[in-house]
Amino acid sequence: MSNSSLPGFKQSFMDVDGIRLSVHICGQGAPLLLLHGFPQTHAAWRKIAPDFSQHFTCVVPDLPGYGESGIPPSVPDHRLYSKRHIAKNMVGLMQKLGYAVFSVLGHDRGARVTYRMALDHPERIHRIGIIEVIPTADMWARFNAQMAMKAYHWTFLAQPYPLPENMIAADPIAYLDWTLKSWTKGNSLEAIDPVSLKSYRKQFREPERIHAMCEDYRAGAAIDCQLDEEDRAKGHKIAAPLFFIWANNGFPAQTGDPLGLWRNWADQVEGQAIDCGHFAPEENPQAILKYLIPFFKKG
């Protein structure tokens, strides 16, 4: 994969906690970790990372199992794909780069790693940005018929091995393209940069990465939900200031009051709905920059 997937960024590989991570870095100023989601790679940030790098030192990895990062082994309880374990990987990455305290912006699965990191490592996290998710336990609790149809992949990808892997393998690129289109506001690939789309399609040609994505969702249906419920029962809250962005045509918008849900989980919450589908950093990058550059510059 060419380094040009993020203009101006340099790619390197770093070993952290036994996993080899592909990382793209550029910029100056305070450290900002950017975490992508499913079914994407670091290239999801292509439209906004260069602008962020004018204000921050941006660290943009492929999540474990995705892109060009290493693939964790599968274990029965899926704990190596839990957001707790991946958050630990990301804290280790930032420590290795010399950053004891940093801010994090996450979209989709990356946002789940982001808020888990803020709960588990509060001393490390300055500020967090959450794009297009509500907490995992809340998401499962809101699975009515409408949500189940829109977010069917939560139950499909979490099915036991090898059912989803085998079904996706029948035509992985068609599955990817259909998923990307169906979650955009315009039901189109137009918003997806061709370089980014090439990156996403590359990983979908690798069966072991499709398996890793399924393991990600298996963890989401099991250990991730359990950890959220445990934190809620103990009254744990996110200490870092949180800015939540959700799409008027995305998943959290189906839950009624997504901003209110985050106020149950964090002490300092700001939020904004924007006009787009689920892939906000690609469909409406200017809105992301408008709200989050000032937010991360505070403090």
Strands (E), the chain: 10-16, 19-27, 31-35, 57-61, 102-107, 125-131, 242-247, 269-274
Task: Using DSSP, state whether 107 is helix, strand or coil.
Answer: strand
pLDDT of 80 reads 98
Select which of 108, 138, 177, 231 is catalytic. 108
Q: Among 126, 20, 58, 92, which residue's Cα sits nearest to residue 289?
A: 58
Structural domains in the chain (count): 1
Is 177 catalytic? The answer is no
Is the bond preceding residue 162 a cis peptide, omega within 30 degrees? yes
Helix (H, G, I), strand (E, B) or coil at 157: coil
Euclidean distance between CA atoms 46 and 9, whole angstroms: 10
Residue 299 has a pLDDT of: 75
**CATH number (domain holding residue 207):** 3.40.50.1820
Q: What is the pLDDT along the chain (299 residues), one digit of tens a residue?
A: 344 699 999 999 999 999 999 999 999 999 999 999 999 999 999 999 999 999 999 999 999 999 999 999 999 999 999 999 999 999 999 999 999 999 999 999 999 999 999 999 999 999 999 999 999 999 999 999 999 999 999 999 999 999 999 999 999 999 999 999 999 999 999 999 999 999 999 999 999 999 999 999 999 999 999 999 999 999 999 999 999 999 999 999 999 999 999 999 999 999 999 999 999 999 999 999 999 999 999 97
Q: How far is CA 264 from the centre of its chain?
A: 21
Residues 6 or more apart in contact with residue 136 via CB below 8 angstroms: 83, 112, 220, 224, 225, 228
pLDDT score for 4: 66
pTM tops 0.85: yes
Chain centroid, CA 6 distance in Å? 17
Give the residue numbers spanning the domain of 285. Answer: 3-297
Active site residue 108: yes
Which residues contact residue 195 at a Cβ distance below 8 angstroms, ignoring those fewer than 6 apart? Answer: 4, 5, 43, 46
Q: 98-115 burial, b if ≥16 CB within 10 A, otherwise e?
A: ebeebbbbbbbbbbbbbb
